[in-house]
């Protein structure tokens, strides 16, 4: 219980720091993003006072002291009020982010879990069959593939499988004319559209898990209890899985949380390549149009999602390894 | 301690070299570097990496001499296919692709080196102080480093880069360094913590050395391989991040680099015109450069721990 409370306390503190960073970022930058934003918004028609106040709270215009602005900002965030996007005027940032988030969460979430499981298994195999081709192939292949820029893998797959061979759709998350709904046909269509982006993320992130698992597994293979298990005449597979791999998986899980940020970053670029309507593509749209409120809102949501995922991994770690609970 | 039986010739050679180093102190720094390279070279994987990196560095340094044309000269035909005059064809704007690839090496090598170096300097300073301190400052640094580790780096880079409109290479290096130092700092911190309780540190404390001297003169040399390792790690991350930011069009899109080449390739619809080389070549170069750095890292472990040198422990 004390373990859980400490973790929750740390999460709250980190969330606060992330939100504060988001508040400070536009104010530390040269020029006044808020003036630029309001000027741009004014091109779409008259700017209401409420909208103006909301943008100023987000981006900072010297009305009131910095502290007052900060309080107003915190209040807005607590109500999920991130202002109004002016690329998609007059839609609210919160609404836009809410529509894009599920696509990214499902895509990145599922692929990351698959990559983690597959990579860990391959890592176990590589460490157990050290020195054979089962070791060399995943290790060297993994090192090379994890050096691929995400967007390059995406471009290659898109070009060869999408344009040249025409096996997969080249853009979007579902067919033109389809409306998102929970029917078998639509889900199948969405799955078909997600295959290329998913494969991209899988190829690029798999190597890291293989290498991580392999090196921790090689460490545990040198431990006394593994030698003892072997001396006892246990079957090699039992020794590998129940003894060595079981203890090697914990450190790999810690790196899961940290690697997640990288995967999320990479998937933003992948979404841009495939015009996948997730958070990354929206962030790209916001950046291109200098839509600062949308950009800030997205950055905050992405950060909070990664923080939450890390929190879940931390809790899981505590459940799996009683020593950390103390 | 595990009893190790180092190759007697090796120790002898080292002792001889040490003697020589004593005789000629002026060249000793060069000798240290030379021995480091020799150690890395002795690992086959790292050897491939050194060769690859050497190739790209040569390409980067001598780009103006090697490249057949000026990379921004757009007086050629547009979107031409391979020919004897243009081995990789021309871009949609009429520039020679091969010349752009060769000049792109300069940008990537430069960004990787500078950003890697700056990140490592920050990581060493913070990691070592943080590992040596045992007070409230340590807790505060701990929190800040963890925050930087957990905040997804690329979105943060994108947001900062979007505010600093079209800042070019300097801006990209700045953004990469700000987001890239935390990992090295954390690794170096934990090593500092474990070294802090060793006998030689206690001895230094008793002989009256100040904290700065202990941290940077006693502890630092023992972490050479970790520091070199985190330099290569940071450089790899910097090269990939630079390419990613430029691909999104966040840098100065007139810079000649592999990232901007991919940006223009996607924006000029190289996908539709079938000029696959425009997509393939820059990305492959980025991957090979990044791989070379990761491969070198396999050989770095032996730098400050002779027992980890391949073949020395069996």
Residue B195's domain is classified under what CATH number? 1.10.3720.10
A22 and A115 co-located in one domain: no
Confidence of residue B305 (pLDDT cuts 50, 70, 90): low
Give domain status of residue B176, yes or no: yes
CB within 8 Å: B150 and A151? no
Give domain status of residue A304, yes or no: yes
| Residue A67: Cβ within 10 Å count | 8
A99 and A69 co-located in one domain: no
A63 and A129 co-located in one domain: no
The CA angle B73-B77-B79, to the nearest 5 degrees, is: 100
A246 and A172 co-located in one domain: yes
CB within 8 Å: A159 and B154? no
A51 and A193 co-located in one domain: no
pLDDT of residue A32: 62
Residue in A30, A146, A261 closest to B153 by CB: A261
Question: What separation in angstroms does the CA of B47 have from each of A43, A172, A255, B44, B273?
Answer: 59, 43, 28, 5, 39
CATH of the domain at A156: 1.10.3720.10
The answer, for A48 touching chain B at a CB cutoff of 8 Å, is no
A23 and A113 co-located in one domain: no
Question: What separation in angstroms does the CA of B170 have from each of A66, A220, B107, B115, B249?
Answer: 30, 44, 11, 10, 15
Give domain status of residue A84, yes or no: no
* pLDDT above 80 for B313: no
- Structural domain total, chain A: 2
Q: Looking at A78, A112, A128, which one is the last position of a domain? A: A78
* pLDDT above 70 for B291: yes
How far off is chain A from B290, nearest CA to CA, in Å? Answer: 5
* H/E stretch holding A115: helix A93-128
The answer, for B249 touching chain A at a CB cutoff of 8 Å, is yes
From first to last of the 326 residues of chain A, give the pLDDT tens digit: 777 888 888 889 888 988 888 888 877 776 666 666 666 666 666 667 777 776 666 655 555 677 777 888 888 888 777 777 777 767 788 888 888 888 888 888 889 889 989 999 998 888 888 878 888 888 888 877 877 888 888 888 888 888 778 787 877 777 766 676 777 777 777 778 888 888 888 988 888 888 888 888 888 888 888 888 888 888 888 888 888 888 888 878 877 777 777 788 888 888 888 888 888 889 888 888 878 888 888 888 888 888 888 888 888 888 877 776 65
pLDDT of residue B1: 36
Proportion of chain B above pLDDT 90, given as a percent: 10
Cα nearest neighbour of B45 on chain A: A140
Give domain status of residue A177, yes or no: yes
Cα nearest neighbour of A15 on chain B: B147
The answer, for A259 touching chain B at a CB cutoff of 8 Å, is no
Average pLDDT estimate for B40-48? 81
Give domain status of residue A4, yes or no: no
A69 and A217 co-located in one domain: no
How far off is chain B from A50, nearest CA to CA, in Å? Answer: 24
* pLDDT above 60 for B5: no
Q: What is the DSSP string of A207-261?
A: HHHHHHHHHHHHHHHTSHHHHHHHHTT--HHHIIIIIIIHHHHHHHHHHHHHHHH
Give domain status of residue B56, yes or no: no
A120 and A143 co-located in one domain: yes
Give domain status of residue A6, yes or no: no
pLDDT of residue B211: 83
A59 and A142 co-located in one domain: no
| Residue B275: Cβ within 10 Å count | 24
User: What confidence tens digit (pLDDT) does each residue in B202-258 have?
Assistant: 898 888 888 888 888 888 888 888 888 889 989 998 998 899 888 888 878 788 889
pLDDT of residue A61: 56
The answer, for B46 touching chain A at a CB cutoff of 8 Å, is no
A200 and A65 co-located in one domain: no
Residue in A29, A151, A257 closest to B163 by CB: A29
A51 and A105 co-located in one domain: no
A132 and A106 co-located in one domain: yes
State the count of interchain CB pairs (< 8 A) between A and B: 133
Give domain status of residue B61, yes or no: no
Give domain status of residue B235, yes or no: yes
Confidence of residue B289 (pLDDT cuts 50, 70, 90): very high
Point out the least confidently predicted range of B18-22, B100-104, B174-178, B216-220. Answer: B18-22
Q: For testing the chain A interface, which of B45, B160, B244 should be mutated: the one with the most A CBs within 10 Å? A: B244
Q: What is the pTM of this model?
A: 0.81
pLDDT of residue A36: 65
- Structural domain total, chain B: 1
Expressed as residue numbers, the domain containing A266 is 93-325
């Amino acid at each position: 219980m004390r373990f859980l409370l400490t973790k929750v306390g740390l999460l709250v503190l980190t969330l606060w720091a992330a939100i504060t960073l988001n508040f400070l970022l536009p104010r530390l930058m040269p020029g006044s993003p808020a003036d630029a934003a309001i000027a741009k918004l004014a091109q779409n028609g008259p700017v209401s006072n409420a909208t103006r106040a909301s943008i100023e709270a987000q981006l900072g215009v010297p009305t009131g002291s910095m502290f007052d602005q900060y309080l107003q900002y915190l209040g807005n965030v607590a109500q999920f009020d991130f202002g109004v996007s002016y690329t998609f005027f007059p839609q609210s940032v919160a609404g836009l982010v809410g529509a894009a988030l599920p696509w990214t969460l499902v895509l990145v979430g599922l692929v990351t879990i698959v990559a983690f499981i597959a990579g860990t298994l391959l890592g176990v195999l590589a460490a157990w069959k050290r020195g054979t081709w089962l070791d060399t192939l995943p290790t060297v292949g993994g090192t090379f593939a994890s050096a691929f820029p995400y967007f390059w893998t995406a471009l290659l797959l898109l070009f060869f499988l999408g344009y040249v061979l025409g096996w997969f759709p080249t853009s979007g998350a579902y067919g033109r004319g389809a409306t998102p709904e929970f029917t078998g046909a639509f889900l199948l269509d969405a799955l078909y559209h997600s295959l290329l982006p998913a494969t991209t993320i899988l190829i690029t992130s798999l190597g890291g898990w293989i290498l991580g698992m392999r090196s921790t597994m090689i460490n545990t293979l040198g431990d006394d209890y593994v030698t003892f298990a072997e001396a006892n005449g246990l079957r090699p597979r039992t020794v590998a899985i129940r003894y060595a791999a079981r203890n090697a998986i914990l450190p790999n899980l810690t790196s899961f949380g940290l690697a997640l940020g990288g995967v999320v970053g990479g998937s933003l670029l992948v979404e841009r390549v495939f015009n996948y309507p997730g958070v990354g593509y929206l962030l790209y749209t916001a950046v291109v149009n200098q839509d600062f409120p949308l950009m800030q809102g997205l950055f905050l949501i992405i950060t909070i999602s990664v923080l939450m995922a890390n929190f879940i991994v931390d809790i899981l770690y505590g459940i799996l390894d009683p020593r950390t609970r103390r | 301690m595990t009893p190790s039986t180092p190759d007697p010739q090796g120790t002898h050679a080292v002792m001889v070299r040490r003697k020589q180093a004593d005789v000629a102190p002026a060249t000793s720094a060069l000798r240290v570097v030379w021995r480091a390279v020799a150690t890395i070279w002795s690992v086959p994987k790292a050897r491939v990496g050194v060769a690859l990196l050497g190739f790209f560095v040569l390409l980067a340094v001598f780009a103006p001499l090697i490249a057949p044309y000026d990379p921004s000269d757009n007086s050629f035909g547009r979107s031409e296919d391979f020919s004897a005059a243009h081995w990789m064809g021309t871009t949609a704007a009429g520039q020679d692709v091969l010349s752009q690839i060769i000049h792109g090496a300069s940008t990537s090598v430069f960004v990787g080196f500078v950003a890697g170096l700056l990140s490592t300097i920050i990581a060493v300073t913070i990691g070592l102080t943080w590992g040596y301190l045992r007070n409230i400052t340590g807790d505060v640094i701990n929190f800040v480093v963890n925050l930087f580790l957990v905040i997804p780096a690329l979105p943060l880079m994108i947001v900062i880069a979007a505010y600093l409109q079209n800042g070019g290479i300097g801006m990209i290096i700045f953004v990469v360094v700000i987001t890239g130092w935390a990992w090295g700092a954390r690794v170096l911190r934990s090593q500092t913590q474990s070294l802090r309780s060793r006998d030689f540190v206690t001895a230094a404390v008793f002989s009256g050395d100040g904290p700065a001297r202990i941290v940077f003169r006693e502890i630092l040399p023992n972490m050479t391989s970790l520091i070199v390792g985190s330099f290569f790690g940071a450089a790899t991350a910097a090269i990939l991040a630079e390419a990613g930011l430029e691909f999104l069009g966040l840098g100065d899109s007139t810079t000649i680099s592999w990232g901007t080449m991919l940006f223009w390739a996607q924006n000029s619809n190289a996908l539709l015109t079938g000029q696959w080389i425009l997509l393939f070549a820059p990305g492959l170069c980025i991957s090979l450069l990044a791989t070379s750095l990761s491969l070198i890292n396999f050989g770095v472990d032996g730098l400050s721990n002779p027992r980890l040198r391949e073949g020395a422990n069996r």
